[in-house]
Amino acid sequence: MANEASKKEMPKKGKFKLDIKDPNVRNALIGVGVILLLSYLWFDSFYSPKMEEIKELTDRKEKVEAELLKINALKPQLERLRQEAVIMAAKLDSLKNIFPDQKEVPRLIREITAVNRRSGVITTRFTPMPDVEKEYYIENKYNVSMLGDYHNLGALFSYFANFQLIVNVDNLSISANPSYGSGGKGPGLFDEKQPSVLAVFELTTFSSRK
């Protein structure tokens, strides 16, 4: 009898059945559905965009880091490049003094006046002539006449060689000064204060062709 009682008390094993008519089951299913829906909406509207933003920022960060590595690798060369730029700028300025961008008549007159004083030569004529255009530069020509003696004229031409501007002397003609000996001292007497030599020549400087 005891065994029969115990068998009655033990629950019978059977398959699990979901009764959607049961209010508790129905409410539980509705709750799970709401949770799933909210989870999907949160994933679609917040999580997924944030993950895309994170990926984009990560890619940008990697690119910036790669560029920074390149810049850091070039830093040792930066100071050398700056020094080279300073040297090249100085060379360019020096070349512009020798080979100016345009015809510099006032500067040339100042330099000739200075060497006249040092050499004791007198400029009697300084006439600009038509420029001659070459393929890469322009020849600036002047017709020049100067009075002095042989020693002073030699000193003058040596000063020309030391000009910052490149100066060429062509078609040089040296003759006796027609005014030499006309100091009123009588026939055959010469005024030593008068320059004895007249030099006529063509002076050429150069400028770059723009």
pLDDT of residue 54: 78
Name the nearest CA neighbour of 165 among 97, 105, 104. Answer: 97
Measured CA distances, 83 to 17, 87, 88, 97, 172 (Å): 88, 6, 9, 22, 45
pLDDT value of position 99: 60
Residue 184 has pLDDT above 50, yes or no: no
Question: What does the pLDDT average to over 176-204?
Answer: 69
Kindly report the number of other CB atoms within 10 A of residue 6's CB atom. 9
What pLDDT is recorded for position 202? Answer: 94
pTM of the model: 0.51
Mean pLDDT of 127-138: 88
Q: What are phi and psi of 74, to 5 degrees?
A: -90, -10
Query: Residue 168 is inside which H or E element, if any?
Result: strand 168-176
Whether the CB-CB separation of 167 and 157 falls below 8 Å is answered with no
Token pair of 5, please? 């009682």
DSSP per position, 153-195? HHHHHHHHTT-SS--EEEEEEEEE-TTTT-SSS-TT---TTS-
pLDDT over threshold 60, residue 182: no
Instruction: Give pLDDT, residue 137.
Output: 85
**pLDDT, the chain, mean:** 76
Residue 93 is predicted with a pLDDT of 67
E-strand ranges in 11-167 read 122-128, 132-133, 137-148
Q: Are 198 and 172 in contact (CB under 8 A)?
A: no
CA Rg value for the chain? 51
CA distance 35 to 32: 5
**pLDDT tens, residue by residue, 59-83:** 888 888 888 888 887 777 777 778 8
